[in-house]
Structure 1
Amino acid sequence: MKQNEAPMERSHSWEPSSRTWQRLHIDFAGPMSGQYYFIIVDSYSKWVDVIPTKTSTSQWCMKQLRNLFCNFGFPDVLVSDNGAQFTSKVFKDFLQANGVTHKTSAPFHPSTNGQAERYVQTIKKLLKCMQDEGGDVDHKLCQILIQLRKVPNANGKSPYDLMFQREVRTDFHVMFRNMKD
């Protein structure tokens, strides 16, 4: 091993989750257009949430996670990279107090948090494609999330189906209903 090389760590292979909200993967995308995007992915359903922000502190992350936990319950495991906001004592204490096991990806091996990393790349790519359309980033993000959540996974079910046990109702359904009338 050369002096400046990081020690080789084995990539972590995650056991498949057996239910929604069992294991979440989190990461940040950005900065893009002066904002970061906090990305949260459920490993079972592939449900993704993206929250735009200008900050990425531990306190801010805890607030966002608290809101998600309020809506969906506490996950068993939360996987993050080794960013300072995720490795701070206050963040670790927050997870521990809520009964959430915190796992971090292997340093210099972002693929060990691949669920979040894939969505980081997807969100960046899609926002960049929509850049020339003009308009509000929040609206674009909503459009992206609806599409990502309604597309079936390899198991034939969409993230929305798996999270809520029903098909998502979109503006397409309204248009189709109006065409029938």
Structure 2
Amino acid sequence: MYLPGMSKDIEKMVSQCEICAQHSTSNPKEPLIPLGEPDRPWANILADIFEFENQQYLVSVDHYSKWLEVVKLPGLTSYATIQYNGPQFSSKEFRDFSKEYGFVHVTSSPYFPQANGQAERTVITVKNLLRKAKDLHKSLLYYPNTNIEEIGLSPAQMFLGRRLKTDLPIASPLLSAATSSSDLKM
């Protein structure tokens, strides 16, 4: 359905909506950290710590597949976050941890979180899930099956080579692992 001037009416309504303004995102002010395009899952992992309703969370996202993991943190110590594969990002304890486990840790400025673009975008996604979900665990189960519009594949398909079984109906062949990336079904 289309009405003349409908787009302007919608734009005006959204610009005057208090809830929309409260939850809107702003444009990035800092350049993103160039990582290059990874060629496989877990080649680049991005992480961030955020607060929601007085509780701290650690979110990790695979740069290749957009597969995300989120955990509620028991505290903000380096030890607590290392237990969940995350850093308290600038500590000696974490530097020692990354050296011992043999990975390179690159940080962005905590005062310019937009520089860690994919992790920040994932934080926004998870906060929206936390706000809207009646069952956070189901939301986190459904999310990996949701297609990424630009590429037509879901994080589960890119990360695991198949879709995940949920309580939503899905054809059995879509739950089988693909033998190559060209076998992935949309």
TM-score (norm: length of structure 1)? 0.70
Match of residue 145 from structure 1: 140
Per-residue displacement from partner, 1:129-166 (whole Å, max 9, x unpaired)? 23xx5xxxxxx221221222111122222111111111
Which structure has the larger Rg over C-alpha atoms? 2
* Pair 1:89–1:147, CA change in 2 (3 A): same
Please say if 1:56 is aligned against 2:76.
yes
Match of residue 157 from structure 2: 161
Question: For the residues of structure 1 that align with 2:35 and 2:131, how far apart are their CA atoms?
Answer: 30
1:98-137 matches, within 5 Å, as: 98-130=101-133, 133=134
Match of residue 44 from structure 1: 64
Give the structure with the larger strand fraction.
1
RMSD: 2.4
* Pair 1:157–1:11, CA change in 2 (3 A): closer
Match of residue 26 from structure 1: 47
* Pair 1:10–1:96, CA change in 2 (3 A): same
Segments of structure 2 that go 5 or more residues without pairing to the other structure are: 1-28, 173-186
Segments of structure 1 that go 5 or more residues without pairing to the other structure are: 1-7, 67-79, 134-139
Aligned-pair identity in percent equals 33
2:35 alignment partner AA: W
Give the structure with the larger helix fraction.
1
Q: CA deviation at 1:9?
A: 7.3
Q: CA deviation at 1:109?
A: 2.2
Q: Which has the higher contact order (CA 8 A, sep 6+)?
A: 1
| Count of aligned positions | 143
TM-score (norm: length of structure 2)? 0.68
